[in-house]
Amino acid sequence: MKRQTILTYLFASLLMMTGTLNHTYAQNNKNSVIKSGTEWLDTNGHRINAHGGGMLYHKGTYYWYGEYKGDSTYWNPKVPSWECYRTEAGGVSCYSSKDLVNWTFRGVVLAPDLTNQRSDLHPSNVIERPKVVYNDRTHQFVMWMHIDSDNYAKAAAGVAVSNSPAGPFKYLGSMRPNNAMSRDMTLFRDKNGKAYQICSSEENRTLYINELTDDYLKPSGRFTRNFINLSREAPAVFFHNGKYFLISSACSGWSPNQAQYAVADSMMGVWTIKGNPCSGKDADITFYGQSNYVLPIAGKKDAFIAMFDRWNKKDLINSRYIWLPILFKSNNVIDIPWQESWNPSIAFRRVN
């Protein structure tokens, strides 16, 4: 393992254990707006390291989970079919916020296994796109993520649990849901408490929607195959006004491409492709980004944030974040217009 990765992880662990924050910096540099594509710093003045992320809202606080990437990017010759730039896997990071613009680092909540080279969590392997949902029945926070070998042949999903949104999470292992490949993925918890894992499968040619068991720890056995042979990845799902929406990207490695969204009456139903949800400058290449999650804003009406990663393939730790509000039009049409900056505290209407 690279010495830089060990030092990066140890520094993150030290911050988590001590809770040391530079309060003077936080008070003097409080943010009020979201500026997509720029460098984002946490309340301690360090670059936010939470790529391919997902979001959880719990008891008045937003928790942002993401890939904690090592600081050295290299090309992996074991995957000659595409530009497999990667970093050593540093586990899953967590940041928390009350206002969605000022983020406090809570540490690496799912730590890499630095000693066992056969472990899914060893830095030489792949830990991507972590997502967390809360289970009301078990009172556990359940994390799913893409787990892979360094040559991307494993194509599995990993599961971890915690009693706290800020971890630490206990890793339970990995599997191929319903005996099918699982790469880019997301989680969705429906209004009735049912949860689903949505993933690219069949060598990324087809998108699977896997219903989970009531404890959210494994597939229930019910699943659907969607967008067959259309090669969709980077799924992000949300529910609005009686309809389910799914945003995804095409498969073009680290290069940006045009996003697409689809609409359905149920998660396990028929999905109708609607087209590109983005508008404005560089909308045809998703603002140089790729979808990762859609966040519903608590206590506000018609309020959703589309979250994208702007990948920097040769310096992955320096990849940027794009967050934009979703606008709703008639006939289940959505629009994600480019904005240089915007204030989430005034962008959405409160629920009366």
Count the Cβ atoms, other than its own, within 10 Å of residue 257: 16
Determine the structural domain holding residue 115 and report its residue range: 3-350
**CA distance readout (Å), 264 to 191, 243, 244, 328, 332:** 15, 6, 5, 16, 10
Pairing of strands 272-275, 290-296: unpaired
Query: What's residue 350's pLDDT?
Result: 67
Q: Is the pLDDT of residue 4 over 80?
A: no
Count the Cβ atoms, other than its own, within 10 Å of residue 78: 11
Q: Is the pLDDT of residue 18 over 90?
A: no
Euclidean distance between CA atoms 313 and 322, whole angstroms: 16
- Strands (DSSP E) contained in 136-275 are 140-148, 156-162, 170-175, 185-189, 195-201, 206-212, 219-226, 232-240, 243-250, 260-264, 272-275
Euclidean distance between CA atoms 278 and 262, whole angstroms: 13
Count the Cβ atoms, other than its own, within 10 Å of residue 19: 10
Contact of 144 with 134, CB cutoff 8 Å: no
In this prediction the pTM is 0.92
Which CATH number belongs to the domain containing residue 268 in this structure? 2.115.10.20
Residue 14 or 245, more confident? 245
Supply the DSSP string of 225-251, one letter for each residue. EESTTS-EEEEEEEEETTEEEEEEEE-
Query: What's residue 12's pLDDT?
Result: 55
Position 213 confidence tier, pLDDT thresholds 50, 70, 90:
very high
Q: In this structure, is the dihedral angle defined by the CA atoms of residues 201, 204, 205 and 206, taken in order, positive or negative?
A: positive
Q: Is the pLDDT of residue 289 over 90?
A: yes
pLDDT tens digits for range 111-153: 999 999 999 999 999 999 999 999 999 999 999 999 999 999 9
pLDDT tens digits for range 51-100: 999 999 999 999 999 999 999 999 998 888 889 999 999 999 999 999 99
Residue 210 or 5, more confident? 210
